[in-house]
Amino acid sequence: MKIPKKKKEKLHSNKIRQILIETDMSQQELADMALDGNSSHLSRIINGQRRCISLPIAIKIARALKLPVEDVFIYKQEDNY
């Protein structure tokens, strides 16, 4: 019997850039609050180069933006057949 493949789960994208503009916050300010100043890591997340980020990092970013995780990150589940 063939075991069905699990659906891939990943972040489709995020709204961080838009939120930063709306809140007049710089990328460096967010990096300082959420990622110990690691703005290059945040830049990769914002630009979609890091779609598989850990839940703790997603929560830290969302908390720094004072928003629920669901309002910051766009989740998409894909069929993997």
Which tens digits make up the pLDDT trace of 35-81?
Answer: 999 999 999 988 887 767 888 999 999 999 999 999 999 877 665 54
Is 17 inside a domain boundary?
yes
For residue 27, what is the domain's CATH number?
1.10.260.40
Residues 6+ apart with CB under 8 A from 46: 14, 16, 17, 27
pLDDT at 81: 44
Domain coverage including residue 69: 8-78
Q: How many domains does the chain have?
A: 1
Is 3 inside a domain boundary?
no
Is 2 inside a domain boundary?
no
Is 1 inside a domain boundary?
no
Instruction: Name the band, by pLDDT with cuts 50, 70 and 90, for residue 10.
Output: low
Is 18 inside a domain boundary?
yes
What predicted TM-score, i.e. pTM, was given to this entire model? 0.78
Distance in angstroms (rounded) separating the CA atoms of residues 68 and 49? 22
Is 61 inside a domain boundary?
yes
- Taking the CA of residue 8 as centre, how many other CA atoms within 13 Å lie in the half-sphere pointing to its CB? 9
Is 62 inside a domain boundary?
yes
